[in-house]
């Protein structure tokens, strides 16, 4: 059995007798949950694999039915991705790293296991629902799946509130984004339940998609960029105040975007320019992370996660595609997909890669880049972009391109699953409970103030 | 004195009493949700749901949700409260973290609240109400499946060997796990054709009522008389093969039910096997021994005693229903849930709370209002059933009698709520983290083997 696997089991065993949860003075030790990301990533990899196989089989068996019910299928796809396997990575990051960042872990292992169980069972129900090929049954099974996925967000409300109270507001270079996931997840959970109650109403679906995919996900991505470049690599791409301003601007634009979706759909008011709030959110996300500073550090050959960097540089493609689609009077479907599956997947898996390597204490320069995911997903984005242009009538793309984009996306998204199974079961390296860098994040560089005396 | 201090230290060391007071939250939630349940029942009656004011299918689903709110909602919350508080102490193993009981409680209560909200929307937005009922069913089923995890962990650790009656207390837990899956299936198959619905209905009755409440009654009575009061009720050959025979009888009943509900076999005795596990539960509890000790005036919980007494009565009613009526075992099942299940569970819960208050057994206050009102209601139910079936009119105005039955049942249930509110808000007793009796349950009587050495 893999040393990593044994170590992780040992860690769970220690938890079960409560040895790691309290320090020598009887205080709750915030480091106890450090290895919890292993279970979340395993769940994410497993369900990502099931998702890919499910999508493939559905296309194979009943493509006509899929196209006829595209509205519902797409909505379910968004929920499985954003609240399913992507959310598992978000929770992995939240449970695995935030205790180190804020020196607080106000939850216990039951919450961790509960979230994993809810995540997996919720996705399983939604995927099973799709294969009934009957709209009524899909909604019935889907209700079970959405309830379970929503509960995974709602049950963390208590610990999240405690974590927000305990957080180090003055030192965290990720500013408001750091509190975004714990704060927004319970809200998203409740909203998803409310939205699903009226899933047959188009407005309900559109509003929830606007909140989940257009606002929440880009903010998570920006939080991840800042977490990697600003906190982990200490590149100082933006100040804490700058990050906080970026958070507020994105939040404001997000609200405007949701209101514009509501206004446009109900015909209460329709300002065509308000449709551009989506590319505007993407643009602010891109510029707010200071591309010039990121580029300067990359040119200086400072080590970084290639996946996160590639994801970041694909944001302009999403912006461009959305602008063109809106100009031509279409919904920015392709732009949104590039953001969700291209940028979102690469960002979150990139962060997960890096976090795991931190636990393995692998030197920064020796870390693998995740090339299969990077190349596969990048090519898929290129083909998908071309296909989008074809739909808009700007190009005449051959039919094989759509299939190529799909196959490449499947291969690319299958890679994290395979990589993670490999890491869990066959990894031979050392695994440390305290990750590199985060273990001494709060250590004073000059505890005895020798520098000031001089 | 020294012994109890040692017990306290040992308990603190392992953290076994971390969840000791959690039952208070569960009991209070159960009482409040029960009040909500009765308010909903009144609303249903007021608006005529079930009498044609809403679509018959929707009315059927609403009835299903109400049974769910009762059986797997506020009634089971009492069982979970006792379980989460008692398991660590009883089995000397902490197999769950403090947030698990909270999650179970809140998810279950959330499901019950959703059922209530769905009933408010049932006229104006029937489709949203149905969606809400699906969400509520999911939440309730998930919460009860979650609650089984620590018990299964204890079984895997082999902890059942450490106490009397072995694996028997785990019986309801394993049944509950099956119930969680079955209930979900029953709900999702509600729009299927009649055959499938008839089959799933059979499964639901079998697991959610017959097996669950028989086993809950057994475990509570056994736990109270056998373990807590240390009466020798389950000894000898019954202790050795009792559980195996019970499982065998459960299987026979299950097969008969399934044969009936798949329309595979429709012989005259097909519903009779219901009586077999019921009578065996009664035999397992050693009625002769219980009556002898009670006759001597030994202190005990009267609701638990009343629950034991209902077992043979229900068996007799079930035989009558199975042989002479075409309405199934509806009356026997109703009596099983309230007469045996609820009564034993609530009696056990109250006794356990009094253990935490370290009240001397002889001076314990019995919940007389609950006991009298509930049993009066059940007796009226039996009388009504008999007069209807035998077509005799001892009580001429059946409507009035029926209302009287409901009123007494409501008094019983409200007395439970008031009892808990009083205990939680106005009780001036001391409350101890380690309950009476359980603190020294696993302590060796002769730790230094002095008695052996002296021989």
In whole angstroms, what is the distance from residue A188 CA to residue A193 CA? 9
Chain A residues inside the 8 Å CB shell of B127: 200
Q: How far is B426 from chain A (nearest CA, A)?
A: 29
CB neighbours of residue A392 within 10 Å: 16
Task: Show Cβ contacts of residue B1 under 8 Å, excluding neighbours closer than 6 positions.
Answer: none
pLDDT in tens, B41-66: 888 888 887 677 778 888 888 889 99
Residue numbers in B near A136 (CB within 8 A) = 191
Q: Indicate if the pLDDT at residue A447 is higher than 80.
A: no
Please, what sign has the CA dihedral across residues A339, A345, A350, A352? positive
**A134 and chain B in contact, CB less than 8 A:** no
Cβ-based contacts under 8 A for chains A and B: 62
**Predicted pLDDT of residue A257:** 93
B24-37 burial, b for 16+ CB within 10 Å, e for fewer?
bbbbbbbbbbbbbb
Counting Cβ atoms within 10 Å, is residue B56 exposed (0-12), middle (13-18) or buried (19+)? exposed
- Predicted model pTM: 0.86
Cβ separation B139–A151 shorter than 8 A: yes
User: How much is the average pLDDT of A124-133?
Assistant: 91
Exposure pattern of B267-305 as b/e (b: 16+ CB <10 Å)? Answer: eeebbbbbbbbbbbbbebbbeebbeebbeeeeebbbbbb
pLDDT in tens, A238-283: 888 888 899 999 999 999 999 999 988 887 776 777 789 999 999 9
C-alpha span between A414 and A370 (Å, rounded): 12
pLDDT band at B161 (very low <50, low <70, confident <90, very high): low
Q: In this prediction, what percent of chain A has a pLDDT beyond 70?
A: 88
Q: Give the mean pLDDT of B348-366.
A: 87
Residue A27 has pLDDT above 50, yes or no: no
The whole-angstrom separation of Cα A125 and Cα B167 is 33
What confidence score (pLDDT) does residue A22 get? 47
Percent of chain B at pLDDT above 70? 86
Residue B110 has pLDDT above 70, yes or no: yes
Name the residue among A136, A148, A199 with its Cβ closest to that of B138.
A148
pLDDT, residue B35, reads 87
pLDDT in tens, B242-256: 888 999 999 999 999
Nearest chain A residue to B16, by CA? A17
pLDDT of A389: 84
Contacts of residue B153 in chain A, CB cutoff 8 Å? none
Tokens coding B423 = 């205990």
Distances (CA, A) of A37 to A162, A172, A363, B416: 20, 21, 20, 45
pLDDT tens digit sequence for A391-434:
888 877 777 777 777 787 778 878 888 888 887 777 777 777 77
pLDDT at residue B3 tops 50: no
- Tokens representing A433 are 């409970």
The per-residue pLDDT for range B170-198, each reduced to its tens digit, is: 788 888 889 999 999 999 988 888 888 88
At B403, the pLDDT band (50, 70, 90 cuts) reads confident
Contacts B146 to A, Cβ<8 Å: 114, 117
- A298 token code pair: 């990359």
> Which burial class, exposed, middle or buried, applies to A62 when counting CB atoms under 10 A from its CB (0-12, 13-18, 19+)?
middle
Task: Determine the Cα–Cα distance for residues A92 and A221; give it in Å rounded to an integer.
Answer: 15
DSSP state of B348: H
Please say whether the dihedral angle defined by the alpha carbons of residues A263, A269, A274 and A275, taken in this order, is positive or negative: positive
Q: What is the CA radius of gyration of chain A?
A: 22
Place of tokens 């849930």: B337
Cβ atoms of residues A205 and A327 within 8 Å = no
The HSE-up count of residue B365 (CA atoms within 13 Å, CB side) is 10
B449: left (phi over 0), alpha (psi -120 to 50) or beta: left
Q: State how far Cα A399 lies from the chain centre.
A: 31
pLDDT at B450: 54
How many C-beta atoms surround the C-beta of residue B115 within 10 A?
Answer: 26
Complex ipTM: 0.83
What share of chain A has pLDDT > 90, as a percent? 36
Distances (CA, A) of B377 to B76, B242, B303, B384, B412: 21, 32, 14, 10, 9
Among A174-183, B127-136, B349-358, the range with the most confident prediction by mean pLDDT is: B127-136
Give the pLDDT confidence score for residue B332 in this predicted structure.
Answer: 92
B447 has a pLDDT exceeding 70: no
In whole angstroms, what is the distance from residue B90 CA to residue B223 CA?
Answer: 11
C-beta of residue A334 within 8 angstroms of C-beta of residue A391? yes
Say what the pLDDT of residue A14 is.
Answer: 43
Residue with tokens 């999650």: B103
Taking the CA atoms of residue B437, residue B441, residue B443 and residue B444 in that order, the dihedral angle to the nearest 10 degrees is: 110
The strand pairing partners of A28, in sequence order, are A22
B400 touching A (Cβ < 8 Å) = no
Question: Taking residues B409-436, what's their average pLDDT?
Answer: 80
- pLDDT bin (cut points 50, 70, 90) of residue A168 is low
Which tens digit of pLDDT belongs to each residue from A52-87?
888 878 877 778 888 888 889 999 999 999 999 999
CA atoms of A364 and A384, how far apart (whole Å): 33
B49 near B59, Cβ under 8 Å? yes
Residue with tokens 């949701």: A258
With beta carbons less than 8 A apart as the criterion, state whether A308 and A224 touch.
yes
Q: Is A197 on the interface with B (CB under 8 A)?
A: yes
Question: Region A123-143: what's the mean pLDDT?
Answer: 91
- Buried (b) or exposed (e) across A120-150, using 16+ Cβ within 10 A? bbbbbbbbbbbeeeeeebbbbbbbbbbbbbb
Chain A residues with beta carbon closer than 8 angstroms to that of B124: none
Chain A residues in contact with B188 (beta carbon < 8 A): 140-141, 144
Chain B residue with the nearest C-alpha to that of A155 = B103
DSSP sequence for B184-201: HHHHHTTTS-HHHHHHHH
| DSSP E strands, A327-437 | none
A151 lies within 8 A of chain B by CB? yes
How many CB atoms neighbour CB A302 within 10 A? 14
Euclidean distance between CA atoms B258 and B275, whole angstroms: 16
Q: Give the residue from B99, B152, B156 with the most A CB atoms within 10 Å of its CB, the best one to mutate.
A: B99
Which of these, A29, A43, A73, lies nearest to A55 by C-alpha position?
Answer: A73
Answer for the pair A230, A242: CB distance below 8 angstroms, yes or no: no
Contacts of B330 (CB under 8 A, 6+ apart): B321
* Contact (Cβ atoms closer than 8 angstroms) between residue A305 and residue A299: no
In whole angstroms, give the CA distance from residue B272 to residue A149.
Answer: 43
Contact indicator for A345, A411 with CB cutoff of 8 Å: no
- Above 60 in pLDDT, residue B451? no
Residues 115-144 of B with CB under 8 A from A: 127-128, 131-132, 134-135, 138-139, 142
Disruptive mutation site among B142, B143, B191 for chain A (greatest number of A CBs within 10 Å)? B142
Cα–Cα distance between B154 and B176 in angstroms, integer? 16
- Whether the pLDDT of residue B235 is over 90: the answer is no
Question: Token match 């872990």: residue?
Answer: A105
CB of B103 within 8 Å of any CB in chain A?
yes
Give the residue among A271, A439, A233 at the shortest CA–CA distance from A351: A233
CB contact under 8 A, B131 and A197: yes
Q: Is the pLDDT of residue A292 over 90?
A: yes
Q: If you average pLDDT over every residue of chain A, what do you get?
A: 83
CA B266 to chain centre: 31
Q: Tell whether A26 is within 8 A of chain B (Cβ).
A: no
Instruction: Judge: B100–A110 Cβ closer than 8 Å, yes or no.
Output: yes
Rounded Cα distance between A254 and A277, Å, is 8
Mean pLDDT on A132-160? 91
> What's the pLDDT at B24?
87
Q: Binning pLDDT at 50, 70 and 90, where does residue A18 land?
A: very low
Distance, in Å, from the CA atom of B331 to the CA atom of A164, rounded to the nearest integer, reads 54
Element (H, E) at B45: helix B22-47
Query: Does A391 touch chain B if contact means CB atoms closer than 8 Å?
Result: no
Looking at residue A32, its pLDDT comes to 67
Residues of A in contact with B132 (CB under 8 A): 197
Rg (CA), chain B: 22
Distance CA A193, CA A191 (A): 5
Q: Mean of the pLDDT values across residues B355-380?
A: 88
Q: Which of helix, strand or coil describes residue A28? A: strand
Q: Which residue matches tokens 């009466």? A: B231
B88 pLDDT exceeds 90? Answer: no
Cβ <8 Å between B188 and A144 = yes
Other CB atoms within 10 Å distance of the CB of residue B124: 8
Under a CB-based contact definition with an 8 Å cutoff, are residues A119 and A91 in contact? Answer: yes
Query: Does residue A380 contact residue A342 with C-beta atoms inside 8 Å?
Result: yes
């Amino acid at each position: 059995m893999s040393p990593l696997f044994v170590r992780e089991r040992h860690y769970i065993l220690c938890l079960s007798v409560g040895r790691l949860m309290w320090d020598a003075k009887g205080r709750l030790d915030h480091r106890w949950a450090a290895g919890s990301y292993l279970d979340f990533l395993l769940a994410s990899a497993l369900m990502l694999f099931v998702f890919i196989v499910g999508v493939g089989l559905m296309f194979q068996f009943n493509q006509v039915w899929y196209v006829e019910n595209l509205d519902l299928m797409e909505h379910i796809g968004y929920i499985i991705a954003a609240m399913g396997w992507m959310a598992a990575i978000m929770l992995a990051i939240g449970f695995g790293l935030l205790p180190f960042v804020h020196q607080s872990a106000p939850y216990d292992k039951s919450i961790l296991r509960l979230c994993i169980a809810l995540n997996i069972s919720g996705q399983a129900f939604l995927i099973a629902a799709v294969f009934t090929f009957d709209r009524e049954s899909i909604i019935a099974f889907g209700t079970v799946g959405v309830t379970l996925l929503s509960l995974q967000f709602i049950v963390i409300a208590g610990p999240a509130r405690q974590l927000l109270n305990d957080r180090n507001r003055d030192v965290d270079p990720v500013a408001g984004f750091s509190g975004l996931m714990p704060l927004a997840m319970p809200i998203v959970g409740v909203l998803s339940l409310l939205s699903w109650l009226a899933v047959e109403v188009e407005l309900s679906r559109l509003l929830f998609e606007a909140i989940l995919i257009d606002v929440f996900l880009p903010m998570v991505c920006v939080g991840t960029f800042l977490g990697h470049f600003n906190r982990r690599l200490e590149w100082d791409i933006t100040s804490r105040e700058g990050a906080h301003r970026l958070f507020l601007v994105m939040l404001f634009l997000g609200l405007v975007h949701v209101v514009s979706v509501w206004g446009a759909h109900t015909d209460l008011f329709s300002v065509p320019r308000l449709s551009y709030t989506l590319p505007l959110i993407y643009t602010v996300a891109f510029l707010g992370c200071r591309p010039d500073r990121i580029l300067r550090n990359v040119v200086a050959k400072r080590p970084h996660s290639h996946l996160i960097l590639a994801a970041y540089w694909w944001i302009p493609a999403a912006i461009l595609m959305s602008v063109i689609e809106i100009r031509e009077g279409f919904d920015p479907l392709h732009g949104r997909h590039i953001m969700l599956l291209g940028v979102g997947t690469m960002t979150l898996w990139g962060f997960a890669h890096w976090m795991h390597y931190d636990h393995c204490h692998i030197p920064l320069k020796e870390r693998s880049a995740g090339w299969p995911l990077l190349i596969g997903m990048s090519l898929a984005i290129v083909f998908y972009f071309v296909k989008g242009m074809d739909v808009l009538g700007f190009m005449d793309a051959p039919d094989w391109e759509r299939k190529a984009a799909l196959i490449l996306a499947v291969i690319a998204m299958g890679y994290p699953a395979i990589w993670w199974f490999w890491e869990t079961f066959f990894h031979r390296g050392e695994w440390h409970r305290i990750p590199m860098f985060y273990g001494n994040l709060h250590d004073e560089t000059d505890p005895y103030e020798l520098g000031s005396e001089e | 004195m020294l012994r109890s201090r040692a017990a306290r230290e040992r308990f603190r060391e392992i953290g076994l009493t971390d969840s000791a007071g959690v039952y208070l939250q569960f009991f209070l939630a159960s009482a409040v949700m029960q009040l909500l349940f009765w308010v909903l029942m009144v609303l249903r009656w007021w608006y005529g749901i079930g009498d044609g004011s809403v679509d018959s299918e929707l009315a059927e689903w609403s009835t299903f949700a109400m049974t769910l709110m009762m059986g797997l909602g506020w009634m089971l919350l009492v069982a979970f409260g006792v379980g989460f508080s008692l398991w660590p102490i009883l089995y000397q193993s902490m197999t769950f973290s403090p947030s698990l009981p909270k999650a179970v409680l809140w998810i279950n209560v959330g499901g019950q609240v959703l059922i209530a909200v769905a009933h408010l929307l049932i006229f104006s937005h029937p489709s949203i109400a149905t969606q809400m009922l699906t969400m509520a069913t999911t939440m309730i089923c998930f919460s009860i499946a979650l609650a089984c995890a620590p018990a299964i962990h204890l079984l895997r650790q082999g902890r059942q060997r450490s106490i009397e009656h072995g694996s028997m207390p785990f019986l309801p837990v394993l049944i509950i796990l099956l119930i969680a899956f079955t209930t979900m299936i029953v709900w999702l198959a509600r729009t299927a054709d009649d055959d499938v619905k008839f089959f799933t209905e059979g499964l639901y009755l079998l697991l959610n009522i017959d097996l669950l409440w028989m086993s809950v009654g057994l475990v509570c009575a056994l736990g109270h008389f056998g373990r807590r009061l240390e009466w020798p009720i389950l000894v000898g050959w019954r202790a050795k093969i009792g559980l195996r025979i019970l499982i065998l009888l459960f299987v026979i009943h299950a097969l008969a039910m399934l044969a009936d509900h798949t329309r595979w076999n429709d012989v005259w005795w097909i519903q009779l096997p219901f009586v077999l596990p019921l009578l065996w539960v009664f035999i397992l509890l050693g009625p002769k021994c219980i009556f002898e000790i009670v006759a001597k005036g030994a202190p005990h919980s009267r609701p638990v005693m009343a629950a034991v007494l209902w077992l043979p009565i229900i068996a007799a009613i079930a035989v009558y229903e199975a042989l002479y009526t075409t309405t199934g075992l509806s009356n026997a099942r109703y009596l099983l849930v309230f007469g045996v299940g609820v009564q034993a569970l609530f009696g056990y819960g109250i006794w356990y709370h009094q253990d935490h208050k370290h009240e001397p057994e002889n001076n314990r206050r019995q919940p007389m209002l609950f006991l009298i009102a509930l049993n009066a209601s059940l007796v009226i139910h039996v009388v009504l059933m008999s007069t209807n079936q035998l077509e005799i009119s001892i009580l001429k105005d059946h409507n009035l009698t029926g209302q009287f039955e409901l009123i007494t049942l409501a008094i019983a249930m409200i007395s439970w709520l008031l009892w808990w509110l009083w205990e939680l808000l106005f009780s001036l007793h001391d409350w101890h983290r380690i309950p009476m009796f359980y603190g020294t349950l696993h302590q060796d009587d002769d730790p230094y083997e002095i008695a052996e050495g002296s021989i």
